[in-house]
Structure 1
Amino acid sequence: MPAEFSLLLVAALAATGLVAGVLAGLLGVGGGIVIVPVLFYIFTAMQVDPGVIMHLAVGTSLATIIPTSIRSVMSHHKKGSVDPALLRKWALPMLVGVLLGTAFASVVSSAALTLVFATIALIVSLHMALGKVERTLADELPSGPAGGAVAGGIGAFSAMMGIGGGTLGVPILTLFSYPIHKAVGTAAGFGLIISVPGAIGFVLAGLGDPSRPEGLLAVGYVSLLAFVLIVPATVLATPYGVKLAHVLSKTALRRAFAVFLGFTAIRMFASLV
């Protein structure tokens, strides 16, 4: 790997970590919505085997979300915007969803994972951009089996996309009349429930894959090199995103969420053409 490319790689990953950290605090998304597509393009530039590019991007992203989510939850908890009761209620069904999503992701193609990521990101982006803040499906969150199904779905699709629970969790919670700022803080907790078992699953799934590149120091489908470069910047930047989350209006939060998701989705669809 040329020295110039190595320096560019370090700078790109560090910058990715900074942006991901701000988004993790601001939107409760764990940063994966930025990390996955950036890693996808970086690994493509490095001529990594196309068959494992998305698996490496998703697995590495889930690993980086672990420390980010911890920092984000702590910051939001200090501001009273985390709902511990909901986290306890949804933890088990969400974990089951994560395990199912990780198992599915380990056997499908890289293109299939890219399609899943782009499709869901675009749907959520359009909802956040065009949907009215006041528009809801119900006055409270579903309980019983319905609530478990919602939690499991968030876990499964988030694991397949390599993202924190906020990308799906925030819009879903707000559809059930959940306050946006509390949704963001609680969704940061979803990210922890999703990222730990998800990252472990991608490590185990990729241990015997000979297509993994040596230069990325990959353990299974998690790149230790990318992890070490992204995480410090992400953890450093997360508290600044939390401060912004408690300053910006509901409309500003929804628009910021929609812009980043929409841009990401378009870029990922383009890669499939």
Structure 2
Amino acid sequence: MNYLRPDRLDPLARDYAAGTLTGGARRRFESLMRESAAVRLAVEVWQQRLSTLEAATPPVAPPVGNWAGVQRRLFPDSPQLAPPAATRSGWWRWLVPGGARGVAAVSGWAVVGALAGALSCVAVLRSTPGWMDTLQANQATPASYVGLLHDAKGQPTLVANSRRHGTLMTVRLLQPLPVPAGQVARLWALPDHGAPILLAALPVTGTTQASLGDTSERLFKSVRRLAVSIEPATTAPTRPLTPFVWEGDCVKVW
């Protein structure tokens, strides 16, 4: 089975990033990630999408009364337990060596913690019922060239994308780019053969759009890498003048 087909890769990458791909399927997919830059990029794109949804979802604490209900269901015959936010003395008295009672109490707290977390998740989902619709609406990725760059530590730094037959490229910085005064950051396409192609001057942070000299299909057809250099702003180079500070893969998504 060809897992690199977009109609198969995209949902697998989504499920892996969301944590719902498990067991043997997850292990097989991780093997693909080690072998294919396209698979790694698809996962990182979905991780960025999901992190954006997470940041847009306001945290909602479950009602305080839920805690007492959980305790009554788990320990119907035990004295009422204090929640984990209780004072240190109230918490540690359950950890005093006391045979089976201490072990049972610790195990009980683990279950209580898990259930409390589940209640929090339910509260968040109920408060934002449209989040799944938003996720599903974003699943249809148009045919595009997508690049994801990293810094020297392997941290994602920049996402660039352009429609397959478009002449515009959108660049979003995932972290600020330190550029000294009097210098400018430039984004380059690195084709398999020939000289690097200057794509855009970059801002220090945020998102920018750049006009391309040709359609993406022609410009990126043999490009598998993108890179960023920082150079004097007074120059108009036809090739990079300094070592690259960020680099990454460029793949076609269709």
Q: TM over 0.5: same fold?
A: no
TM-score calculated relative to the size of structure 2: 0.25
Larger radius of gyration: 2
**Bigger strand share:** 2
- Between 1 and 2, higher relative CO (CA 8 Å, sep ≥ 6) is seen in 1
Greater fraction of residues in helix: 1
